[in-house]
Amino acid sequence: VGVRPDIVYYLLNKPAGVVTTASDPQGRPTVVELVPAEPRVFPVGRLDLDTEGLLLLTNDGEITNRITHPSHGVEKEYLAIVDGSPSRSALRRLREGVEFDDGITAPAQAVLVSPGMVRLTIHEGRNRQVRRMLDAVGHPVTRLVRTRVGPLSDRRLPPGQWRELTVEERRALERAVADG
């Protein structure tokens, strides 16, 4: 697969308080203001205002559609600091899917990392899904950080900073969305 010079992929560690949009009528800082202005890129999926962590920005519409469409099953992994410490039954509910007004969620991977900290991996992207799931099992989120998007992770990328994907990461991303 040849690399097209006009296509860029940025991995951003989004800080809290920045909106995941290209422009904000309320004048809040946006994720696109944190990366180069040219070429113009767009966020792949969303992180809410208070959620931190990894976000892919690109001008590749095809890969954006593949990553965001649930049929491709691209995993997103989060670390959540929650009120209390979820029981085994609460974790089981997360793993089996949680009932919302708009239907049941797909099963998630849920691991208690330490008391009050849950690693949750999902492949859907419903609005505020991780927060809603943890609320539903009685453990509201106090801090939420996305640590992985498909094959992409980077524990050393400081909040507010970005970098271009490596050739290896681009290939891994292509493989992750190749067929779904």
Active site residue ranges: 48
Enter the DSSP assignment of 30. B
**Per-state percent for the chain, helix, strand, coil, to nearest 5:** 25, 30, 45
Q: Which residue has the tokens 């049941």?
A: 104
Q: Which residue has the tokens 């799931």?
A: 133
**Residue 137: which of 102, 106, 76, 96 has the closest Cα?**
96
Tell me how far the alpha carbon of residue 127 is from its chain's centroid.
11
What is d(CA 144, CA 5) in angstroms, rounded to the nearest whole number? Answer: 34
